[in-house]
Amino acid sequence: MTGQARGGRAPGVFGLLAVAVSWGLFWGGWAALIPGLKADLSLTDQQLGLALFAVPVAAVPAMLLTGRLMRRLAQHTLPVVTAVFALGALLVGLAPSAPAFAAALLLVGVSSGAIEVGLNATIAAHEARDGVRLFNKVHAATPLAMVLAAPAVGAALDFGASPAQALTVIAALVALSAVLAIDPHGWQEQAPAAEGTGPRRIAGPFLLVGAVGAMALLMENSVEQWGAIHLRQQLGAGPFLASCGPAAYMAGLSAGRMLAQWRGSQVGDRLLVTLGGILGGAGLAVAAAGWNPAWTLAGFALAGVGLAPVVPTLLGAVGRAVGPDRRSEVISTVTTVSYAGFLGSPPLVGALAGALGLSAALGIVALGGVLVAAGGQVVQRLSVRTGGVARTPPSDRETA
């Protein structure tokens, strides 16, 4: 196979995993770093909120533009944007004032959004080049890193490290991952792009794919942002037990993606998405019921296992549905549409919780699992509308 390394291993996969891990290390430790950064810069709550808002404000346009950038830089894009992310992480820690802090977060937002698109497009290019399934494998690394980073950063701060020192270490690890992401093999395809994949013909299915991804990420961010609050307010859990809610979800997310990587080709994309929506919704419903902390944690973990393969599977199907000339831009669009669910989750759940209570709000969000499950039909439609191009790669073999 073109680009296939000796011994049946695809080149460049370790670099993809390194970027996914370093990106997860930053965002996993970020929540623990915010209070110290706020105190060091003497920020008011309003100043902190405005500064943090710089991240999504910068990320969205960057996600849209990265697809076009990749048409020019191809495999060089991911190392470049990851290096910029490392610089942004360093500058956040070294910022001497509120304006400098906000400017550094703008850089973090731009580069973080670019990494999301760049990593997904690069994974899709590697799948096409080497004939392997990689999305679930690479995406499993990020939540695992986040689960490990949160307590690690917290422990470092407890032992006297400053936020600037912690961010310097993280920035160094991100910079190392940028080097590891350099891929000298290029993005040669195994076969020419299929015909019949013009913009008019596939725009509708791709937008539907993005909408399904948005619902999955809305459910995911509901757990990340409100899971600990639910355990504390509804069940009287202490700080440590409450923090286990999002951690249980992240652990389930990583485990579910590893399982999908191992046996995904035997199940098929359509069934993976359908079962993912059913299990994700059921798990979140159990957690929302709030019978006791043990059931709630189990529900969050089940939700993570169920939703785990949804977005990676959708992106993999998208990557196989288009040729190399349009792949980066289409994945950029789908990723950006999906990200809308992530951004919309906090205010939506907050509004519902204010009107109905947090348990009821999470229960309503759990109903989104029905829409995610219907996404299996979207994958099928994508395959039909693109002339059967959205096929399953020939192998799930180990590629790291």
Q: What is the pTM of this model?
A: 0.81
- pLDDT tens, residue by residue, 133-192: 888 889 889 988 988 888 888 888 888 889 999 999 999 999 999 999 988 777 655 444
> DSSP letter at 386?
T
Which token pair is 281?
């919704």
Mean pLDDT of 304-316: 89
Which distant-in-sequence residues (6+ apart) come within 8 Å of 7 by Cβ? none
Mean pLDDT of 289-293: 88
- pLDDT tens, residue by residue, 10-68: 567 888 999 999 999 999 888 788 888 888 999 887 888 888 888 888 998 998 888 88
Q: What's the rounded Cα separation, in Å, for the pair 101 and 54? A: 10
28-37, 97-106, 187-196, 332-341: which range is least confident on average? 187-196
Burial 299-325 (b: 16+ CB within 10 A, else e): bbbbbbbbbbbbbbbbbbbbbbbbbbe
Q: What's the rounded Cα separation, in Å, for the pair 302 and 288? A: 12
- pLDDT tens, residue by residue, 223-232: 887 888 888 8
With CA atoms as reference, report the closest residue to 376 among 208, 221, 220, 260.
208
The domains found in the chain, sorted by start residue, are 6-180 (1.20.1250.20), 199-385 (1.20.1250.20)
Which distant-in-sequence residues (6+ apart) come within 8 Å of 46 by Cβ? none
Which distant-in-sequence residues (6+ apart) come within 8 Å of 165 by Cβ? 93, 156
Q: Give me the percent of the chain exceeding a pLDDT of 90.
A: 32
Q: Are 334 and 321 in contact (CB under 8 A)?
A: no
Task: Supply φ then ψ for residue 187, to 5 degrees.
Answer: -120, 40
- pLDDT tens, residue by residue, 242-280: 878 888 898 898 898 888 888 767 777 888 889 999 999
CA atoms within 13 A on the CB side of 250: 23
With CA atoms as reference, report the closest residue to 308 among 220, 378, 218, 373.
220
Residue 180's alpha-carbon distances to 15, 56, 79, 395, in angstroms, are: 5, 27, 8, 25
Q: Which residue has the tokens 């695992």?
A: 144
What pLDDT does residue 203 have? 63
Q: Quote the distance between the C-alpha of residue 398 and its chain's center.
A: 22
